[in-house]
Structure 1
Amino acid sequence: MEKKTKEEYVHPLLEVKDLSVSFRMYDTGLEQYDLKVISNLNIDVKQGEIVAVAGSSGSGKSLLAHAVMGLLPENAATTGEMYYKGMPLIQKEKEQLRGKEIALVPQSVAYLDPSMRVGTQVLGEKPDQRKRKEQKEVFSRLHLEEHVERLYPFQLSGGMARRVLVSTALISGADLIIADEPTPGLDLEMAVEALTCFREMADEGKAVILITHDIDLAFHVADRVAVFYAGTTVEIAPSKDFREGPEALRHPYSKALWRALPQNGFVPIPGFQPYAKALPKGCLFAPRCPNRTEECEKPIPMQELRGGTVRCIHAT
């Protein structure tokens, strides 16, 4: 079968529209309230594409992964829409698809079952010869020796456990891979190799959402970058814009994120990301933004601009 070009993948494999996630919490006196931690978040990914998700801790990156996988706790409530292959993605479908058509590389290595050997967790109970061969090839690429498949998770180093999690997704056969911080604990060579594997999967027609703090590495393998701030999407831009620098970017936070990278001067901005219980009105970045005006206190929708999308009325 002839491999499609990226331009031929027109429709998103996964589309998330105006996603909001709240948790039912208890205040003093056991009074209940809903804490909204994600609000009006938008993102999509096509086959043949890697979309990197960047942003500071607490910006909603991992919650997005758990929401798509249907792994949120019972006290969570969601609004908005999700579509997978053009069809509504509801909880029942999430449970049927995860581990099959949708695979997660979790952030924590604690997701490995401590009572099960590594090989069984990677391959399943009754793997065929093709899958065994694929597992050996992936292990070799990630510098995992053959005997590792006979070990238990407690016998692995942190970096080895991380590579095992990555290998599980790589041989899953899933059409959509959500990699939540797959590179911490890996040296530079292994981090690059892991990201190269994801790039190859995308080039073969898979769709990859890459959640990462190693954004300077992600810029070189991703097609687009989605920037999250305080639980919402503030910009989605081609990765080349991040390589070119702040003049090519649209949102003030994206520009600040670029300048905060060590190779770009490690320049901080004043203030801090707001707590979910005390979000400002309108633009969530406004209290830290040098361009803020009274108009920024109104709801700010995402808008298309220069080949990307941005949530800022002052973006040019």
Structure 2
Amino acid sequence: MPQTIHVPVLEVNDLSVAFTRYDRGLRQSTVEVIRNLHLTVGRGELLAVVGSSGSGKSLLAHAILGILPDNAAVSGTLRYEGEPLTPARQEALRGKEIALVPQSVNFLDPLMRVGDQVRSSVREGDADAEVRRIFDRYRLAPGTERRFPFQLSGGMARRVLVSTATVGGPRLVIADEPTPGLDPAAVRETLSRFRELADEGCAVLLITHDIESVLPFADNVAVFYAGTTVETAPAGDFSGDGARLRHPYSRALWQALPQNGFSPIPGVQPHPSALPPGCLFAPRCAAAGTDCSRERPEMRELRGGTVRCIHAT
């Protein structure tokens, strides 16, 4: 997909999220699970966020929406349409201009007909007409609105979730792992719907583990590791042997796919309470030197993307 210039809708700068908890003996401790995270998604852009479990992808979504638990402390800057995204503004925009497509179809109310669930998200106009319009757009047959969630297939339930999130005309859609459990055809169909939203001017932030499936639909990709962004790159850079990628972890993710050699890297992602000094990826990086353990690298621009690595060229 060709790289295009996008007007920023969401800007995340130096975001950190920490949780206060009580250990054995009622000792209080604080664990920082997201640190110095940077990300931008623009109007008309589909940005895929990838990385292993525990890297902070879903927490980012919750921070943007303002739905973190009470024991979370957030620092850094969130801006929406150029203005600070304060807690009051998050509450006002959530479910309206900023919409979430959640990870699980269990978010659908099992005791409520799906048409009523979508109808409750209509902001203006004839609610019944809007439900028929959005169901027709997502190829949900007439009569679907009278069904309960248990009467839907997995693919239909996913489309109802997307319908609920988008019927109100949001400007930013956050999709948190929208394709698990779907067959390949349903995955392509689901991702094509998000691509359509972006093509119509919406900003789409799509969180996924499935790099391979999302690449044909994404404009750019943000790679997360141990609670921070290590690279953002045009989707087209994920090709061949990964030589166009900037960060060694991004290349490792790409090369770990079966069609790219299925080459694992040693070690595991560090726990937030036991982070290494310096570069977070250094203990697993074959190219790491002594300078990599001195201080954590800053995000910098490189070859049309950004990277957090002092050796990237």
Q: Secondary structure at the match of 2:212?
A: helix
CA distance in 1, matches of 2:148, 2:39: 37
* Preserved CA contact (<8 Å) 1:227 1:235: yes
Counterpart of 2:38 in structure 1: which amino acid?
N
CA distance in 2, matches of 1:164, 1:279: 40
Query: 1:18-37 alignment to 2 at 5 Å?
Result: 18-37=14-33
Q: Could you say which residue in structure 2 is the equivalent of 1:315?
A: 312
Shift of 1:157: 4.2
Task: Give the TM-score taking structure 2 as reference length.
Answer: 0.93
| Structure 1: gaps of 5 or more residues | none
Q: Could you say which residue in structure 2 is the equivalent of 1:134?
A: 133
Query: 1:268-283 alignment to 2 at 5 Å?
Result: 268-283=264-279
Q: Could you say which residue in structure 1 is the equivalent of 2:208?
A: 212
Q: Could you say which residue in structure 1 is the equivalent of 2:75?
A: 79
CA distance in 1, matches of 2:202, 2:241: 28
Shift of 1:76: 0.8
Q: Secondary structure at the match of 1:227?
A: strand
CA deviation vs aligned residue, 1:254-312 (integer Å, no higher than 9, x gap): 00000011221221111000111101112111110011112112121001111110000
Which of 199, 211, 221 aligns to 2:195? It is: 199
Which of 44, 49, 52 aligns to 2:48? It is: 52
CA distance in 1, matches of 2:219, 2:138: 26
Which of 277, 299, 303 aligns to 1:306? It is: 303
CA distance in 2, matches of 1:230, 1:156: 37
Counterpart of 1:109 in structure 2: which amino acid?
V
CA distance in 2, matches of 1:35, 1:152: 41
CA distance in 1, matches of 2:70, 2:309: 34
Which of 111, 115, 123 aligns to 2:111? It is: 115
* Preserved CA contact (<8 Å) 2:119 2:128: no
Q: Secondary structure at the match of 1:34?
A: strand
Change (3 A) 1:158 1:197: closer
Shift of 1:123: 2.1
CA distance in 2, matches of 1:25, 1:296: 31
Change (3 A) 1:129 1:29: closer
Shift of 1:6: 4.7
Which of 11, 16, 28 aligns to 1:15? It is: 11
CA distance in 1, matches of 2:240, 2:219: 14
Shift of 1:240: 0.6
- Residue 292, structure 1, aligned to residue 291, structure 2: no
* Preserved CA contact (<8 Å) 2:101 2:161: yes
* Preserved CA contact (<8 Å) 1:139 1:146: no
CA distance in 2, matches of 1:22, 1:111: 26
* Preserved CA contact (<8 Å) 2:95 2:121: no
Count matched residues. 307
Q: Secondary structure at the match of 1:177?
A: strand
Change (3 A) 1:287 1:110: same
CA distance in 1, matches of 2:270, 2:191: 31
* Preserved CA contact (<8 Å) 2:172 2:202: yes
Task: Give the TM-score taking structure 1 as reference length.
Answer: 0.92
CA deviation vs aligned residue, 1:128-180 (integer Å, no higher than 9, x gap): 3541332231341xxx4333322222443444322321222232310000011
CA deviation vs aligned residue, 1:166-218 (integer Å, no higher than 9, x gap): 22223231000001111112211111111111111111111000111121121
Q: Which has the higher helix share?
A: 1
| Structure 2: gaps of 5 or more residues | none
Counterpart of 1:308 in structure 2: which amino acid?
G
